[in-house]
Structure 1
Amino acid sequence: MPRVSFLFFLFCLITLISHHGTIAQQDFLKYVCGESPANSNSSFRSNLRSLLLNMSYNTQIDYGFYNFSSSNNFDKVYVIGLCRGDISGQDCRSCIQDSRVIILQVCSPNAREAIGWYDICFLRYSNRLIFGVMETSPSYNSSDSSDALEKDEFKNVLMQMMSYLRERAASRDSFRKFAVANVSGPGNQTMYGLAQCTPDLSNKDCDICLSGEISDISKCCDGKRGGQVVPPSCYIRFRLDSFFDASAYNNTQPFVQSPLPHPASKQAEANDAADSLQMDFETIRMATNDFADANKLGQGGFGAVYLGRLYDGQEIAVKRLSRNSGQGDVEFKNEVLLMARLQHRNLVKLVGFCLKKEERLLVYEFLPNKSLDYFIFDPIKRACLNWQKRVKIIEGISRGLLYLHQDSRVQIIHRDLKPNNILLDEDMNAKISDFGMARLFAVDQTQSNTSTIGGTYGYMVPEYAKHGIFSTKSDVFSFGVLVLEIVSGQKNGEFHNGENIEHIGTAAWKSWSKGMYSNIADPTLLIEEEGSSRSEMMRCIQICLLCLQENAAHRPSMASIVTLLSSSSCTIPIPSEPFFYNWTSMPSIKIIPSSSSGDQSVEESRNELTFTEQFPR
């Protein structure tokens, strides 16, 4: 028997004996095994077993984290182990030891990747570099079987606590990105929460990872008394009973408790974040080749957007606001402050900004597939978007809005949701952009009003156009119109129903009420028609009709919409016929050209009209 195989066999035998046979019965809570290539040779298996056998417990293990790689450059192996931040060093080592035995029992010896989770630790290996790389799959989640009392208040307190924990965990040092807290919930109950990232992540990636998992609470654990979401790079958990050892955590870092930070301190923190993003004008000028026409990606009412490349090779999209644009210094600072606070996979990421004399520049991540309207309103390009791709885009937009409304550090109303403000990355993932018109809400605020009306024709809710009242349900209405455009491939005010042209909501109501979808669906989708696609389209149209209800109280929240979109077993309420007002007959309205930026969009929508006159009270 080869020496490595014999040592590994001896190691497993000793470990099993030392645990009195319990290891064979104690499986992971969840494990995922990667594919096993048919032509796999033994070198990877040998490297993996040797690495697991000879794992050295350096000082990092005292912080609950372990990463190591094989020295052999051929069929190299990378291993990561992480223990929950409140676990003692001895319990951590024991859990990791158990993991390295079990992971080879439950996965094929040829599996090139695997991950296994216990309650207090996980172990992962791969044949590719995984150190310092943020990954959100594979993952698992679980929830308490019991529902929380006073669900709305419970969820509000939960989101505040998880947002606080995310900020604390993401700001920790490189040894332990971990935070716990408890807060008073409804009914005099104490809510306990935990957030943790692998320490090899940057603070920024940790923040992004946790933000995504907090958004997924509504998918797995909505209204439940407890739950957890566990991908490879980060971890969140909450319960109504204490599940962590606060005293053990106190040995190294102070225990985090309520009260939550005061809003004033959050504002100061946001200003500091914005300052850190300020870029030198010369750097941006060089990156865009002096704003050359050849680098121009698009032109909107707020100015032009240019492709740029920084010194490190990173591609960027630079929005250069025109001097006579509708967006002034107030709107510019608003967008910077908002984007500095926001980190979510379905929001466009702000890379930096520059404010120099008359120059106002916003620097975003570059997204190669331009904007959604570039595809769905083009009879040829929209054929590239089959139903599953459109569902993916719809779900991405819904999760981005849910983050803005509920899961971000501050509640935000976008107020200008439309296809050319939805950008697409290389994998056609949707990212919401353009926050120049966005408004912040207090945590307990339900609606607000304004004397200046700004928005886009066809997406604006009746209560906003008539009275200047806006709320999260304003975005819900716009989302309903936008999704109908995605389903149909036609613009909302130019829907062709035979020889008639009508609003897309009216056409959708007629189709749905007759139990049909072929009249509203994009003809390119009907080619791939399947039973499941038909059912999904009808559900999607019904959800959109709920979003278009005249009474804002009858529209669902984004949390409910995300749940309805992700679960075919949920019953969708029956909508009433939506109301669509005649824009041209409304009094005291002056119609002017849209000031929408249309970031990275080559073609602008022809039905964009913005209302800026004040309405009589």
Structure 2
Amino acid sequence: MINYLLVQYLIIWFLCSLLCFVTNAQGPSSLLHKCDEGTYVSGSTYGENLVNFLFSTVEASKTQVVFNSTVGNDPSDRVYGMFMCRGDVNSDVCAECVSKASNEVLNYCSNQKVAFAWYDYCFLRYSNRSFFSVYSLQDENIVAWMWNTMNVTEPDKFNQVLTNTMNEVADRASNDNQPDQKFGVGEANFSTSQSVYTLAQCRADLSSTNCTSCFSSAISFMPQGCPNRQGCRVAFPSCMIWYELFRFYNITSPSSSKDNSKGKRRLSKPAVIGIALSTIFFVVLFVGTFVLLKRRSRKRYDSEMQEANDEDESLTIDPESLKYSLAAIQTATNNFSVDNKIGQGGFGPVYKGKLPNGQDIAVKRLSRRSGQGAEEFKNEIAVVAKLQHRNLVRLQGFCLEGGEKLLIYEFVPNKSLDYFLFDQEKQRLLDWSKRYKIIGGIARGLLYLHEDSRLRIVHRDLKAGNILLDESMNPKIADFGMAKICGVDEFEGNTNRIAGTFGYMAPEYTTSGQFSIKSDVFSFGVVILEIIAGKKNSSFHQSEDSRDLLTYAWEQWRHGTPLALLDPTLNNSSVENEVLKCIHVGLLCIEEDVDRRPMMASVVYMLSGNSVTLPTPHHPSVSRCNTSKSVPEEIESDRSDTRLLVGSVSNSSSIELQLR
């Protein structure tokens, strides 16, 4: 009997090879987006110049593979930009990739002056400063990589062949004298039956020396980022390398797509029919195999997540990769000195620490009297360790020793949003541009949790106190101790224990225990209105008819005076349009009817778009309690708990973004 697993590999290999020749079969996917901290005001001259540049890139990509442009007469508002397509793709693929990149980069980098992005088939970059023919060693501090999860069978021999081949291809690309590309591909045999295929590309405007330096950094990173993997991509802001065990690039030049059939043998009609039938057969067989594999993967993943919810202390992640000793944390925090204490959460104090390498950390020390035991501790580790986004606090590790439960996070210096927002003196430090950036950053962080991360995450306790601010006042969502994991195709669940903070919790959650990604949308709407008003929802008393901030905002909107909600310290007519848009979006998010609340993808689009027609908001839900304390699983219903099964997640490839 034919080995079933072997058949699966043959089918996948066949389709991968087929799709590599049909380049247009898949749309371009993003490997890296990076945005600078400098912002511009919507509708400003810089914003208009940027839109004009992106429009010109889409038009130029129809005929060019490399394009540099400068838009704007005034140096203070000038936009410098470029795009570059991969050296083996035709004009149609190039145009499609650049068009997608031009549209997406504005969502990823809303109102920011500097951005660049690598895609499968193209590269896009713009800035308010000229970067043409300029290479900076700081570029090597930003790296993204993607790898195949399967390992090679003979790693020593493979790595030797790979390194030699990649160096040759990189050298060829660096010294490419064509004016529109620095690009190279190559292949080499490392066994009697297998070859490795390599690709390297550098920014066309850089010198050979600069490209060699960039390629050298990328190649030296491969053993660390993709050890012994069957495939890997490493991207820096100025170059990219890629290898696979199958041919993923076009052999011929894209310019050779014209009719050149003279002297070549044409396929007969029976041969064409045979190829077509064979392709259909393999596609049908692949679909059937894929369904079976998906079912198996779902069952296996459900089993793993069930184990993660058991009451023992076992973890579903590699302990050695994140584990810190208690002695190391005690030394870092001066034995949890009072002088090192920087905050007090619902489950215990938070201390600042410094590791021996000089890195600052924040240590969350879970109280033994708190409601968070092994269950919540494991939940926070399992969830946060897998999340990588610039608007989420990054988990560095944990300690489970000597009766202590410690979580080690990156240190975010400017404390939490509520520390500034609800203090009459400190809130003056938050001008409208900072508040608008904070709103947009929180929205993008939630969008990642709901739709772009490997698992669909419902935070369940989004509030101003759980939004930390870094040195540039960029927001980072924190505290995932109450988070719930939904399946990739599921959006809601039920619980018989309510967790969260009154004043931020959605009405369907407090009354029936039903939580969903729309619960987070409701909480985000509350946070938007608090940021605009500079006042806390749970302690807001503006008039006898307004029991909370939400009803007050609705009343002012209904009466045509929504700007009455605006914090008096922000009384500036130049920002009225942005304020009105944010109030409008906030009211849409706090709708009583769950179905009327927008998804976070729509929210991000509404906030970033300048000419978006927004739906009409309706009367919001009213608060049912007047306290801002967190409620760690305290309100119980008489229903049995309905545990939410986690959907399957493909483990065929992984991606990680890290700012080193």
| TM-score calculated relative to the size of structure 2 | 0.57
Matched residue count: 426
Letter in 1 for 2:237: P
- Alignment RMSD (CA, Å): 4.6
Q: What are the ranges of 5 or more consecutive residues in structure 1 without an aligned counterpart?
A: 1-24, 38-80, 88-112, 137-164, 178-193, 208-229, 237-243, 252-256, 585-604
2:573 corresponding residue in structure 1: 529
**Residue equivalent to 1:511:** 556
Cα distance change, pair 118–555 in 1 and its aligned pair in 2 (3 A): closer
Asked whether the 8 Å contact 1:170–1:206 carries over to 2, the reply is no
Q: Indicate whether 1:539 and 2:547 are aligned.
A: no
Q: 5 Å matches for 1:171-570?
A: 200=217, 232=237, 247-248=247-248, 262-263=297-298, 264=300, 271-273=316-318, 275-497=320-542, 502-526=547-571, 528-530=572-574, 533-570=575-612
Query: Which one is further off, 420-429 or 120-129?
Result: 120-129
Please give the alpha-carbon distance, in whole angstroms, between the structure 1 residues aligned to 2:489 and 2:201. 28
Quick one: structure 1 residues 231 and 124, their matched pair in 2 at CA, closer, same or farther if it must change by over 3 Å?
farther
Q: Is the CA contact 1:32–1:114 (under 8 Å) kept in the aligned structure 2?
A: no
Q: CA deviation at 1:494?
A: 2.1
Question: 1:606 & 1:341 partners in 2: Cα distance?
Answer: 29
> What SS does the aligned partner of 2:499 have?
coil
What CA deviation, in whole Å up to 9, does each residue of 1:70-93 have, x standing for no partner?
xxxxxxxxxxx9995988xxxxxx
For 1:367 and 1:203, how far apart are their aligned partners in 2?
30
Give the match for residue 100 of structure 1: none
Alpha carbons 2:348, 2:366 under 8 Å: kept: yes
* Cα pair 1:206 1:234 within 8 Å, conserved: no
Identity %: 45
Q: Is the 8 A contact 1:352 1:364 kept in 2?
A: yes
Counterpart in the other structure of 1:612: 634
- Please list the CA deviations of residues 288-312 of structure 1 after superposition, one character each: whole Å capped at 9, or x if unmatched: 1111111111122311111111111
Alpha carbons of 1:120 and 1:544: their partners in 2 closer, same or farther (altered >3 Å)?
Answer: closer
Change (3 A) 1:247 1:463: same
**CA positional deviation for 1:545:** 0.9
Does the 8 A contact of 1:493 with 1:502 survive in 2?
no
Letter of the structure 1 residue corresponding to residue 137 of structure 2: L
CA, structure 1 residues 205+35, in 2 after alignment: closer, same or farther (shift >3 Å)? farther
SS of 1:271's partner is coil
Q: Distance in 1 between matches of 2:585 and 2:516?
A: 19
Report 1 or 2 for greater relative contact order, CA contacts < 8 Å, sequence distance ≥ 6: 2
User: Distance between the aligned counterparts of 2:418 and 2:480, measured in 1?
Assistant: 18
CA shift for structure 1 position 273: 4.9
Q: Which amino acid aligns with 1:615?
A: S
Q: Is the 8 A contact 1:370 1:424 kept in 2?
A: yes
Please, which runs of 5 or more residues in structure 2 have no aligned partner? Answer: 1-62, 76-82, 90-114, 125-130, 153-158, 171-198, 203-213, 227-234, 252-285, 309-314, 640-660
Look up the match of 1:126: 134
Deviation for aligned residue 1:28: 2.0
CA contact (8 A) 2:501 2:628 kept: no
Deviations 1:117-145 (A, max 9, x none): 99567997536423521179xxxxxxxxx
> What SS does the aligned partner of 1:342 have?
coil
Alignment of 1:82-121 (within 5 A): none
Q: Is the 8 A contact 1:295 1:306 kept in 2?
A: yes
Task: Choose the corresponding residue for 2:66, options 13, 28, 41.
Answer: 28
CA contact (8 A) 1:302 1:321 kept: yes
Q: What is the DSSP-based 3-state SS (H/G/I as helix, E as strand, rest coil) of the residue aligned with 1:470?
A: strand
Q: 1:204 to 1:503 in 2, by over 3 A?
A: farther
Aligned amino acid, residue 378 of structure 1: D
Measured after TM superposition, the shift of residue 529 of structure 1 is 2.8
Q: SS of the counterpart of 2:570?
A: helix
Structure 1: how far apart are the matches of 2:407 and 2:64? 53
Paired residues for 1:4-15 under 5 Å = none
**Aligned 8 A contact 2:438 2:474 in 1:** yes
Distance between the aligned counterparts of 1:466 and 1:405, measured in 2?
23
2:624 to 567, 582, 585: 582
Deviation at 1:515, TM superposition (A): 2.3
Give CA-to-partner distance per residue, 1:230-260, whole Å, 9 cap, x none.
Answer: 9937999xxxxxxx99635599xxxxx9958
Contact kept in structure 2, 1:135 and 1:233, CA below 8 Å: no
Deviations 1:554-581 (A, max 9, x none): 1000000000000021111001111215
Structure 1 position 325, deviation (Å) = 1.2
Give 2:651's aligned residue: none
Deviation at 1:357, TM superposition (A): 3.3
Which shifted more, 115-124 or 354-363?
115-124
Q: Secondary structure at the match of 1:297?
A: strand
